[in-house]
Structure 1
């Protein structure tokens, strides 16, 4: 079975997002859709109501796609000022932390390669070896609806299972995927210890971060009758 995850690239999202990279054989960065201006593509949440670190971007039309966005010419200085909000200092005392410090010190150019670099840094450090690619490189047919776009991406990656974040339950239908020969599964809601992952990268060790992510890698039940236990993405089961 080849497991594919497709998700918009987020700027150091909560730890639960990285479960998709942990569980997938292929992780496709969904960058061929409209840029959500109030979403998390360019914003990293910090503890406390309304606290964010936001990547400074060049002005762009409202209907711009994620792949079309660029970091602002003065992004480095503006981002550095925001990073002072972090509860822990940005110290490069481990290889992972140094890579993140270097990344935060040099925001420039197109947005998607920058976000992809951040995803790859974390995935490699935590030992998640899925293949990462971009939907914009697949030359998808124009006019596909949201669900059909995902199905086409999964087909092109040779996928037989598609996994999605919990919010996808309102977007995708198991029956439609089943007719296409693709198993559809959704992650359970993340209940781990690191909802604010960027600070955690400078406060916690890699082993604890990896364990937190892997321990949350479970599918939602198909229904209460069909599946009384939640199935792990890695083949075993546990009780809710």
Structure 2
């Protein structure tokens, strides 16, 4: 059984969903410290001004402590943030060929009435998975009884969760390869693998392609069939040695 474990991100980029589609179970790792200026409560979409390339869409947070976990954070719902996010897409209404369908998905992702950031992120990931035809079951780590309190370093969180589910293969994005110790996974007969996305250019009706944007941007410009092909084809699986030697 292949397992993937990551923090929940807000409408993440294509590579996140490639990994989700490739594994047999996905653990939303939300009982971990929130980091400012990351991808948990924000992401990037095309900017109307081509010279600026991209702009942020953000879920605003209520007052929080420096070391709060993702699953304890509250959304600042007094702000009209959903309307603001929707408004940032409006420029593309007559330009993006799949604008209407992608906005219907966006509305569904934001439809959950909640103050919990963790619940909104889990809902939006599950909603997008359904739209993309990804059948991988999602598990929210903070709502399960997982033995991860005694880890000695960051790479052991994934190991302990993989052991908990009886997985024989753990796959992580390439960016985190350095935190894992291959020997620890070998000792428990768990293969350690890494997924490297190959983000090929698609038409954004501008001179310069901007890669790595939110999945909503990908869906505005590509048919669902083409995005599903990207999910299954546009990546490669690497060993730790391959990743660290590149």
Q: TM class by shorter-chain length?
A: 0.7 to 0.9
Compute the TM-score of the two structures, normalised by the length of structure 2: 0.81
Q: Indicate the SS of the match to 2:198.
A: coil
Instruction: Check whether the contact 1:58–1:71 (CA below 8 A) recurs between aligned residues.
Output: yes
Does residue 1:162 correspond to 2:170, yes or no?
yes
The residue that corresponds to 1:178 in the other structure is 186
Residues 70 and 222 (structure 1), Cα distance of their counterparts in 2 relative to 1, 3 Å cut: closer
Q: Where does the alignment leave 5 or more consecutive residues of structure 1 unmatched?
A: 225-240
The residue that corresponds to 1:207 in the other structure is 225
Residues 105 and 79 (structure 1), Cα distance of their counterparts in 2 relative to 1, 3 Å cut: same
Deviation, structure 1 residue 217: 3.4
Does residue 1:58 correspond to 2:58, yes or no?
no
Q: Indicate the SS of the match to 1:109.
A: coil
Compute the TM-score of the two structures, normalised by the length of structure 1: 0.82
Residues 88 and 50 (structure 1), Cα distance of their counterparts in 2 relative to 1, 3 Å cut: closer
Q: Where does the alignment leave 5 or more consecutive residues of structure 2 unmatched?
A: 47-51, 202-210
Q: Indicate the SS of the match to 1:219.
A: strand
Residues 208 and 172 (structure 1), Cα distance of their counterparts in 2 relative to 1, 3 Å cut: same
CA distance in 1, matches of 2:115, 2:230: 33
The residue that corresponds to 1:85 in the other structure is 88
Q: What are the residue-to-residue correspondences of 1:18-37 with 2, within 5 Å?
A: 18-37=17-36
Residues 111 and 79 (structure 1), Cα distance of their counterparts in 2 relative to 1, 3 Å cut: same
Counterpart among 121, 124, 149 of residue 118 in structure 1? 124
Residues 141 and 171 (structure 1), Cα distance of their counterparts in 2 relative to 1, 3 Å cut: closer
Q: Indicate the SS of the match to 1:84.
A: helix
The residue that corresponds to 2:133 in the other structure is 127
The residue that corresponds to 1:219 in the other structure is 237
CA RMSD, 1 decimal: 2.3
CA distance in 2, matches of 1:44, 1:123: 17
Q: Indicate the SS of the match to 2:196.
A: coil
More moved, 106-115 vs 152-161: 106-115
The residue that corresponds to 1:232 in the other structure is none
